[in-house]
Amino acid sequence: MFTGSYVALVTPMLENGDIDYKSLEKLVKFHVEQGTHGIVSVGTTGESATLPFDEHIDVVKETVAMASGAIPVIAGSGANSTDEAIFLTEQLGSTGIDGFLSVVPYYNKPQQRGMVAHFNAIADASDLPVILYNVPGRTVADMLPETVAELSAHKNIVGLKDATGNIARLKATQPLVPDDFVLLSGDDGTSAEFMCEGGHGVISVTANIAPKAIAQMCEAALSKDFDKCRAIDETIKLLHSDLFIEPNPVMPKWALYKMGMMESAVMRLPMVLPELSSQKRIEELLKKYALISG
C-alpha cells in the first residue's frame, strides 16, 4: 500500500476564493482515468496552511467521495502545533481516508526528540497509517534518519515522504527502517533516481499536470525496469523544474487553469498569481507537451 504515484493534489478555488468543488471532481476523475495510484488531499500543495479546519476537512471528505474507492486518498494532517495536528487527525479519521501525511512542524524548529514526541502523539490519535513528511526547505527543521528509524517502531507510522532531494539521505535511511516501511520521494526532480535506488514511489507535484507519465515512471521502477523509468523521467524533466519557478502551488495551479482543468488559478493569500513572465514560460512548456493548443 502507498506505493507508486500519489499526486499532491491542488485545491481548486473560484474567483471569490471559495472552494471550487466542480473542478475538484474534474481533477479527481482525471487522476483515476490517467492511472494515478493515489491522491494526497489538502497537503501543503493543497494549501493546508491557509484552509481553516472546516474547509480542510470538507475538501478531504469530498475528495474521498469523488474517488469512490477507485484509488486511495491520504489526507494532509500536519501542523506546527501538536494539539492542532491531533485535532485534524481525529476529525479526518472518520472521512473514509486511507491514511495521513503529517509534515515536520514548521517555524518552531523542534529538536529531534520533539519530533519523536510530536509524531508519536499524532499516531496515537488514530488507528489509520501515518506517513511522515520531511521537507526542510519549507519547514527549516530536518528530521534525521535516526529519528525516522525511532518513529518507524510505532505500529501506525508506516512510511516517509522525503523531500530533501538528497539520494544519500535515502541510502542512510534504508538500513535503519523495517523492510515494509514505505519510502516515497517528495522531490520530483530526483524522484526517478530515488526509486531506482530502492524507493517505493513519489508524492508528486508534476503528477498534477502529467499524471500518466508519472504513474508509468513509477510502475517501471517498481518492476525494476530502471532504464524505462529514467527514459520517461527524461521526457518530463522540464516540467519538474518549471513547475517550481515560483513557490508551489503557484505554477501547478496556473498550468491546470490554462489546461481547462479548473475555473481559475486563484490561491489563498499570501500566495498570488504568477508573474507575467512565469505565466508565459509555463504556457510555452504546456504547448511543447501538447497539453494546450499552440
Q: Does 212 qualify as catalytic in the annotation?
A: no
Query: Rounded distance, CA 106 to CA 49, Å?
Result: 10
Residue 203 is labelled as binding a ligand:
yes
Catalytic residue among 161, 280, 288, 289: 161
Q: CB within 8 A of 207, min separation 6: which ones?
A: 5, 6, 7, 8, 31, 36, 214, 215
Cell 507535484 maps to which residue?
205
Query: Rounded distance, CA 113 to CA 96, Å?
Result: 31
| 258, three cell numbers | 490554462
- CB of 250 within 8 A of CB of 221? no
Catalytic residue among 133, 224, 228, 237: 133
CA within 13 Å, CB half, 226: 10
Residue 45 is labelled as binding a ligand:
yes
Query: Rounded distance, CA 243 to CA 112, Å?
Result: 31
Cα Rg of the chain, angstroms: 18
DSSP letter for 244, please: T
The H-or-E segment that residue 291 falls in is: none
Give the DSSP per-residue string, 171-194: HHHGGGS-TT-EEEE--GGGHHHH
Q: Does 133 qualify as catalytic in the annotation?
A: yes
- CB of 205 within 8 A of CB of 189? no
User: Annotated binding residues for pyruvate, as ranges?
Assistant: 45, 203
User: Annotated binding residues, as ranges?
Assistant: 45, 203
Q: Give the residue numbers annotated as catalytic, written as ranges.
A: 133, 161
